[in-house]
Structure 1
Amino acid sequence: MPLATTRRTGLVDQVIGQLREAISQGEWAIGERIPPESTLAETLGVGRNTVREAVRALAHSGLLEVRQGDGTYVRATSEVSGAIRRLCGSELREVLQVRRSLEVEGARLAATERTEEDLARLRELLAARDRAQDESSLEDFVRADAEFHAMVVRCGRNRLLTELYQGLTEVVTASVAATSHDRLTERVPIGHSGLVDAIADRDPARAAAEAGGFLDQLLLREESGSPHPTT
């Protein structure tokens, strides 16, 4: 197993990094059981508690699944894939409902409060998002799309709304991943240029409609069980 002996500082973070690297490089396949704590501890030169904490963190992020009395199995090869596997059903519907509430108001405020610098940043993020979509790069797309939506909210200059949205970063990112995977791989282009144009034109009603429109589509598809469009 190509894992290096760790240094004695930041042991848990180092073990997390090495295990994540081994998983992403295919050292263990999805569905395969990883070596027990005792074996990993000996290989890495750390205590079993350190390995246990690292495994717990990777299980929380969706890469590993701990089955009591059976062992620990690889669930996904990246946090994005893990999010797709974790976030589904009624939980995803609830996240989309909360996103709609926050993002519609954020877009409305952005149309009246944004600066030219804000607008330039929105266009940069939109361009990065579109490039990732064209290249079918899921992880880059998820990162750019989630940051784009967060930037729209920040443009509204409402600190409480921004803090509320920032507190949901993990679940928002997971919802983007869960609703983007199938359509992105099928190369179905879905853009947000209309939202940026409405914010640029300082049209709050149109910005709110643009922000709510695609989320309404996602909610309808989630409730009907249909494939998701790209957010």
Structure 2
Amino acid sequence: MALTDEAIDKIKAMIVAGELAPGSRLPKEEILAGQLGLSRNSLREAVRALTAMHILITRQGDGTYVSSLEPHLLLESLSFAADVSQGHTALQLLQVRRLLEPQATGLAASLLKQEDLRELRDILDRSRTVATVEEFVAHDIAFHLRIVEAVGNPVLSMLLRVLSTRTQRVRIVRGSQTGHALNAAHQDHEQILSALQSRDALLAVSAATVHITAVEQWLATSLTDDPVLAVDA
């Protein structure tokens, strides 16, 4: 095991054991390095890595602290993996999204308030006036995230945001014959909103499943027909 990896594991072990609680300040570098039997260089590398993971936070001129360790915060570091996902990896992320998001949409059917439904209507109306794929995807993400947020589970919201990032969606829409993909997405969104307005949880689950499955099937077909093209999807 590399020295930096060993240092990371030792700091994580202290956090898991409760020796370093969320929000607590790490001991001074020389003290912590001595406690863990590490060189100061290895400790610094570990702190940098754990900061990138949002496990630690550095406050300029004040020191290094354990973060809040909220799951949704820790999941943010996974978004890059989704951004660069290609081919079969992108397909696997879509499959997981299909397992989670329709159920969240069904739960939201009874939780969305009238003002939430009006906001969703406004998002869809604006999505039809956009000039670029990037603008459409921004509205698409806002639509789905607003629905999931109604469930009131920030971990679920962040996980679904990670599973289908803006970068990934832009690539997929562009690859799947943009005009056709946008028209299909508009129709799917209308079906989802109609189900939510009717407070029909089962219909909302079904509409969301159809919507996500269509994208998943397109990507799966692309991988079969043209593996090289699908890498860029």
Partner of residue 149, structure 1: 144
Partner of residue 114, structure 1: 112
Distance 1:86 1:163, change over 3 A: closer
Q: Within 1, Cα distance between the matches of 2:159 and 2:215? A: 21
- TM-score, with length taken from structure 1: 0.54
Code of the aligned partner of 1:184: T
Code of the aligned partner of 2:134: E
Q: Is the 8 A contact 1:95 1:172 kept in 2?
A: no
Count residues in correspondence.
Answer: 141
Computing the radius of gyration from Cα coordinates, the structure with the larger value is 2
Q: Which has the higher contact order (CA 8 A, sep 6+)?
A: 2
Distance 1:187 1:107, change over 3 A: closer
Instruction: Report the CA distance between 1:148 and its aligned residue.
Output: 1.1
Instruction: Report the CA distance between 1:147 and its aligned residue.
Output: 1.3
Q: Which runs of 5+ in 2 are unaligned?
A: 1-80
2:212 corresponds, among 202, 212, 215, to 215
Instruction: Report the CA distance between 1:143 and its aligned residue.
Output: 1.0
Distance 1:186 1:224, change over 3 A: closer
Partner of residue 160, structure 1: 155
Partner of residue 29, structure 1: none
Secondary structure, counterpart of 2:183 in structure 1: coil
Q: Within 1, Cα distance between the matches of 2:110 and 2:180? A: 36
Q: Is the 8 A contact 1:198 1:204 kept in 2?
A: yes
Partner of residue 91, structure 1: 89
Secondary structure, counterpart of 2:199 in structure 1: coil
Code of the aligned partner of 2:126: A
Q: Is the 8 A contact 2:84 2:168 kept in 1?
A: no
* 1:61-140 to 2 correspondences below 5 Å: 86-132=84-130, 135=131, 137-140=132-135
Instruction: Report the CA distance between 1:95 and its aligned residue.
Output: 1.7
Higher helix proportion (structure 1 or 2):
2
Q: Which runs of 5+ in 1 are unaligned?
A: 1-82
Deviations 1:173-208 (A, max 9, x none): 223212211432567512110100100100000001
Q: Within 1, Cα distance between the matches of 2:90 and 2:114? A: 34
